[in-house]
Structure 1
């Protein structure tokens, strides 16, 4: 029998709570109870690495299922928006319109970041999604930055530092700020890249609560650098990565805390605890 305890253990990975002082706490998935949803001010989800169009993968079915999962999240506990954090399609721009049509099936607003496999000109990207490779938006007292980490040929690059610096300054008085960027700016993983100037900016940004990545399909945990927290969300598709396909949820609570947890929507797939 699938009990509530078993469901949480199998579906929630690495539950973390960021307090007002940006202190990270971790909880065992089988012992944590989600707060009353009436105490949640803002809630969003992240999924990445769909690789729409990649040969010998089940990209069509995986995308359809992920759209369904996120729509269920919205209907059950609410989602203000979702972010598809890079590698929306796989190399060939002919798949871009299909990918767009698929994600338009979401029942909430959504944003996309540009990944190394999204090999298309920025002008076409902007015409398709309505935002540039670098984009900023805000919801009430919270600001969000989307940064680009790849050129049109798929080369890994650090984001536009001048633009990022301007936006960090612009939003420094917001209660909290979050950053979405496909590739991690620290060489923690095989596929990461070092961006020391960017890390310095992040480290000095007092209201920065979290930086979210895709790219490393095998990663679904959180790492810390200079008191700032960097999250991953597994993958939607692709031919490698974690044995499950999942997504990450972030909840901003009324008391100023930020709750984040990784979800495996297939309760039959066992999930190990995240080490924080």
Structure 2
């Protein structure tokens, strides 16, 4: 993996020495950090007429440098890892192995592989969860082998949310949003109602809509988009979302553009 790209060099001073910010007050946070993770999506490895290898090289360089400068506990690649061709799954996995942090993946509508192939490749199913410290992270499936847009499995979600009922916070990752905010969204009322009624669900993260990089609210819960780091359409920049959880149980998130005006669409979450 080659990291001496100009975008990587421009990024290095951009994050060096930055304190954690209280985004509500635009001041340094005095709380100690409990967890810090990055969400990125829509790399579309293998998409014709795109520089997909460079897109992945850039993202890996950015995240690895974040690890060095500010710390990253893990990364979630939130869907559309590949572009339609199932034979590319091994190639993208080999590429992502250059990340120097643990990473997890969700299946998007362009990841047209079966559950068995997904399981054998990543070591877990298309529905997956894990815990880090006192927080839980739920990764749900919103597509299938045909690439259709589907609601996540509500029974599985209920079971996972029950399993983590004692967690200080639950963070959920779904490639496709379960609300018709965009032409790419799906109406999943049972799912959004479940999130609304679960006090420790803190946030829901989405990819899929490459031109969306901000936040929407439904039932008192924030839903976040992270633009894209690959593909041939969307926001004018390629970036990712940073989430920081503090020991006082407050948290914050912002979209990051590594090449200019880096911090975008910030949000502060309460205890």
Same fold (TM over 0.5): yes
Alignment RMSD (CA, Å) = 2.2
Offset, 1:272 = 6.8
Corresponding residue to 1:163 among 156, 178, 195: 156
For the residue of structure 2 that corresponds to 1:266, the secondary structure is coil
Offset, 1:32 = 2.2
Corresponding residue to 1:130 among 120, 123, 128: 123
Question: Is 1:95–2:71 an aligned residue pair?
Answer: no
For 2:213 and 2:148, the matched residues in 1 are separated by 23
Return closer, same or farther for 1:101/1:225 CA change in 2, 3 Å cut-off: same
Following TM superposition, where does structure 1 have runs of at least 4 consecutive aligned residues deviating by more than 4 angstroms? 269-276
Offset, 1:16 = 9.9
Corresponding residue to 2:34 among 25, 28, 41: 41
In the TM superposition, what whole-angstrom CA distance separates every residue of 1:202-260 from its partner, at most 9, and x where no partner exists? Answer: 00110001100000000000100011010011101111000000000100011110110
Corresponding residue to 1:69 among 26, 38, 62: 62
Offset, 1:119 = 0.3
In the TM superposition, what whole-angstrom CA distance separates every residue of 1:10-65 from its partner, at most 9, and x where no partner exists? Answer: xxxxx997xxxxxxxx64xxx824436x7111010000000000001111100000
For 2:246 and 2:21, the matched residues in 1 are separated by 13
Corresponding residue to 1:196 among 189, 200, 204: 189
Corresponding residue to 1:108 among 95, 98, 101: 101
Offset, 1:275 = 9.9
Length-normalised TM-score, structure 2: 0.88
Q: Quick check: 2:253–2:266 contact (8 Å CA) kept in 1?
A: no
Corresponding residue to 2:218 among 219, 225, 230: 225
The match for 1:211 is: 204
The match for 1:22 is: none
For the residue of structure 2 that corresponds to 1:200, the secondary structure is helix
Question: Is 1:53–2:46 an aligned residue pair?
Answer: yes
Structure 2, unmatched stretches of 5+, are 1-13
Residues matched between the structures, number: 252
Question: Is 1:259–2:256 an aligned residue pair?
Answer: no
The match for 1:81 is: 74
Offset, 1:265 = 0.5
For the residue of structure 1 that corresponds to 2:121, the secondary structure is helix
Question: Is 1:178–2:171 an aligned residue pair?
Answer: yes
The match for 1:119 is: 112
In the TM superposition, what whole-angstrom CA distance separates every residue of 1:160-181 from its partner, at most 9, and x where no partner exists? Answer: 1111111111111111000011
Structure 1, unmatched stretches of 5+, are 1-6, 9-14, 18-25
For 1:272 and 1:109, the matched residues in 2 are separated by 25
Q: Quick check: 1:246–1:262 contact (8 Å CA) kept in 2?
A: yes
Q: Quick check: 1:172–1:206 contact (8 Å CA) kept in 2?
A: no
Return closer, same or farther for 1:192/1:141 CA change in 2, 3 Å cut-off: same
For 2:165 and 2:28, the matched residues in 1 are separated by 29
